[in-house]
Amino acid sequence: MNLVTLRTVREVRNHLAGVRHKGKKIGLVPTMGALHAGHASLIQTARSESDFVVVSIFVNPLQFGPGEDYLRYPRPIEKDLEICSQMGADVVFLPEVAEIYAAEQRVFVDVTRLGDHLCGPFRPGHFRGVATVVAKLFNIVQPQRAWFGEKDFQQLCIIRRMVQDLNFDVEIIPVPTYRDADGLAMSSRNAYLDSDDRAAAPTLYRALTTARAMIENGERKAAVVKDKASRIFAEQLRIRPQYFEIVDPVELQPVDEITSEVRIAGAIWLGKTRLIDNVSAALLKHFRHVTCS
């Protein structure tokens, strides 16, 4: 089946009405384009787990703040369409901004608390923009399932909570982070890195995996783990750390004492490029308490 490109909400709804009439289950992979191997993995996973796959490509202005890279965000549409076709997508929804925001937006989706830490304080309004556009896409496509990468773990948690609290009839499926051989998480923004910055970029993953190893080997003090990460970043002068936090994996609140599974997340700047990444960690070694009589 040939890939179909649709550009309006009406076209999508009309096309998918026929798909539903045939009893097919619809899956959605929301993207901002500039697709890479990580996105390909999302689409491929969706293809294997649903009857009909819709990929949306929309650079959402609502989630970019002042001074961020909305205008220079890469938009290689022909390459993106080729990847969608190769990975087996059935439809690409490729709207213009005026189609999604036909009038000045006055209704927003704001998931509280989950954006209080990690990226939230550094990107005010970002997650409100993400939640709002994803809510729109869910209403337009009405998928049974939607796939999101774990690289944007805070976004994943926020979308899950939005679906729960607003009773969307869609299952959110997480897909593990896709990485280069040196551990760098795939990101559309990696294309901005020059050769020296690209060589330094895996330092973030090294800090995260070092922190995970410390926790798995019994370190319970978050401050000790974070101090080690700070020293790793200090070894690489090109890096400007923005944050490095250890949080609970549901509410995304910082923890001081590690007693159960946590998420370790960090953000760094390399030149004008901001990179994020995260890993999960849990205590593996349990030490027997000895009671003295």
Read off the amino acid at residue 285: K
Candidates 150, 134, 148; CA nearest to 249 is: 150
Q: Domain 4-175 is classified in which CATH homologous superfamily? A: HUPs (3.40.50.620)
Alpha helices in the chain (DSSP H): 9-21, 37-49, 77-86, 97-100, 126-141, 153-165, 195-200, 203-216, 222-234
Q: Which of 39, 117, 126, 286 is catalytic?
A: 39
Between CA 45 and CA 40 the distance in angstroms is 8
Q: Note the pLDDT of residue 1.
A: 65
CATH 3.40.50.620 in the chain, residue ranges = 4-175
Decide if 39 is catalytic. yes
Q: Note the pLDDT of residue 286.
A: 52
Between CA 83 and CA 81 the distance in angstroms is 5
Between CA 22 and CA 30 the distance in angstroms is 23
Q: Note the pLDDT of residue 289.
A: 40
Q: Note the pLDDT of residue 117.
A: 98
Between CA 219 and CA 232 the distance in angstroms is 17
- How far, CA to CA in Å, does 160 sit from each of 116, 148, 189? 16, 10, 24
Between CA 163 and CA 167 the distance in angstroms is 6
Q: Note the pLDDT of residue 256.
A: 98
3 state DSSP class of 179: strand
Between CA 139 and CA 187 the distance in angstroms is 27
- For residue 78, the number of C-alpha atoms closer than 13 Å in the C-beta half-sphere is 0
Read off the amino acid at residue 150: E
Q: Note the pLDDT of residue 290.
A: 37
CATH 3.30.1300.10 in the chain, residue ranges = 188-280
Between CA 52 and CA 19 the distance in angstroms is 8
Phi and psi, residue 185, nearest 5°: -65, 135
Contact 132, 36 (CB under 8 A): no
Q: Domain 188-280 is classified in which CATH homologous superfamily? A: Pantoate-beta-alanine ligase, C-terminal domain (3.30.1300.10)
Q: H helices then E strands: how many in the chain?
A: 9, 9
Between CA 110 and CA 161 the distance in angstroms is 11
| pLDDT tens sequence for the chain (293 residues) | 699 999 999 999 999 999 999 999 999 999 999 999 999 999 999 999 999 999 999 999 999 999 898 999 999 999 999 999 999 999 999 999 999 999 999 999 999 999 999 999 999 999 999 999 999 999 999 999 999 999 999 999 999 999 999 999 999 999 999 999 999 999 999 999 999 999 999 999 999 999 999 999 999 999 999 999 999 999 999 999 999 999 999 999 999 999 999 999 999 999 999 999 999 999 886 544 433 33
Indicate yes or no: pTM above 0.85.
Answer: yes
Q: Note the pLDDT of residue 32.
A: 97
Question: What separation, in Å, do the N-terminal and C-terminal C-alpha atoms of the chain show?
Answer: 75
Edge-to-edge order in the sheet of strand 239-247: 239-247, 262-270, 273-281
